[in-house]
Amino acid sequence: MRKKVSIIGGGNVGASAAQLLAHDGIADVVLFDIAEGMPQGKALDMAEACPLWNSSVSVKGTNSYRDTEKSDVIVITAGIPRKPGMSRDDLLKTNAEVVKSVAAETSKLSPDAVVIVVTNPMDVMAYVACKTSGCNHRKVLGMGGILDSARFRTFISFELGVSPSDVEALVMGGHGDQMVPMPRYTTIKGVPITKILPPEKIAPLIERTRNGGAEIVSLLKTGSAYYAPAAATCQMIRAILFDEKRILPCAVYLEGQYGVRDIYVGVPAVLGARGIEKVIELELNEEERADFDRSVSAVKALLEKITV
């Protein structure tokens, strides 16, 4: 039987992820949104592309949670973007309410699904989704680290003129301004970047990675990035549905690893059919430790502003 992925929020990220899944024939896709007609229209358009993509999966758009029943994976992209006059705190509170309602509905209908949270601020929203659904925290994870690492890989590949496929990179911490790109664990065909580039060449790449989301927002003027976020989400979906046991940076619930408890934050983890199967604890030097702690504090500060 084909696997089923339900994407909650049929906006830019949600629809782009649906397109990738349908194009590659990964799973049947349900695209849910509160906007009437929009998910149905996008899904029908994708269904009509399937014959051209030689894809046999189904793509259904809906305004009814019932259609998401028995999903193998739930992706939460629902939320509102920041509008003029809104503070970050307004965005945080509004999206927390959206994610709470989504997690409450989807967990009833798909209690065994692995849940991937994309809505920002993502680390906090993953915590909200986990606590609201009451799901095993190993089955609720956030997308951010893969995207941030992909951005770091891209900028390194621009700098060195090599394929981004030959660049392995790791970005840890929260998916925000305080994220922690890790040059010591970033390699080109196995060679650490610290042996290839001097610190003064690495620093701007780190800075650009930290501002990766903002750079796209300032170019687009309306809305935020969606191609790379959708691709990162699909890499996680593949790892889960095909039980790949990929080692990927994901926002996971920490229970003492890295000295941190009761918070979601990005760390490398083994991702497979059961969700997060293992958290990988890397040795951090003093500077990395300080940056990681600062990033954790930033996520905690956001978490303290909402009630879960």
Q: Which residues bind ligand APR (CB under 6 A)?
A: 8-14, 33-35, 77-81, 98, 101-102, 118-120, 223-224, 226, 229
Residue 97 to residues 55, 125, 132: CA-CA distances in angstroms? 36, 10, 10
Residue 228 to residues 12, 136, 156: CA-CA distances in angstroms? 11, 28, 16
For residue 40, the minimal CB distance to ligand APR (Å) is 13
Find the catalytic residue in 100, 137, 175, 238: 175
C-alpha closest to that of 99 among 63, 61, 128: 128
For residue 297, the minimal CB distance to ligand APR (Å) is 21
C-alpha closest to that of 282 among 185, 176, 186: 185
163 CB neighbour count, 10 Å cutoff: 11
Nearer to ligand APR among residue 101 and residue 136 (C-beta): 101
Residue number closest to ligand APR, CB atom: 11
137 has catalytic annotation: no
> Cα separation of 129 and 121, whole Å?
12
Nearer to ligand APR among residue 15 and residue 27 (C-beta): 15
> Cα separation of 68 and 29, whole Å?
9
Q: Which residues contact 304 (CB under 8 A, 6 or more apart)?
A: none
For residue 231, the minimal CB distance to ligand APR (Å) is 12
Nearer to ligand APR among residue 117 and residue 263 (C-beta): 117
Question: Strand, coil or helix: what is 51?
Answer: helix
Structural element, H or E, at residue 140 = strand 140-142
Cα-flanking dihedrals φ and ψ of residue 86, to 5°? -95, 135
Nearer to ligand APR among residue 46 and residue 260 (C-beta): 46
Nearer to ligand APR among residue 31 and residue 188 (C-beta): 31
For residue 9, the minimal CB distance to ligand APR (Å) is 3
Tokens representing residue 287 in the block:
């500077």
For residue 11, the minimal CB distance to ligand APR (Å) is 2
Question: Strand, coil or helix: what is 1?
Answer: coil
Reduced 3-state DSSP string for 189-256: CCEEHHHCCCHHHHHHHHHHHHCHHHHHHHHHCCCCCCHHHHHHHHHHHHHHHCCCCEEEEEEEEEEC
For residue 79, the minimal CB distance to ligand APR (Å) is 4
Nearer to ligand APR among residue 141 and residue 202 (C-beta): 141
The catalytic site residues sit at 175
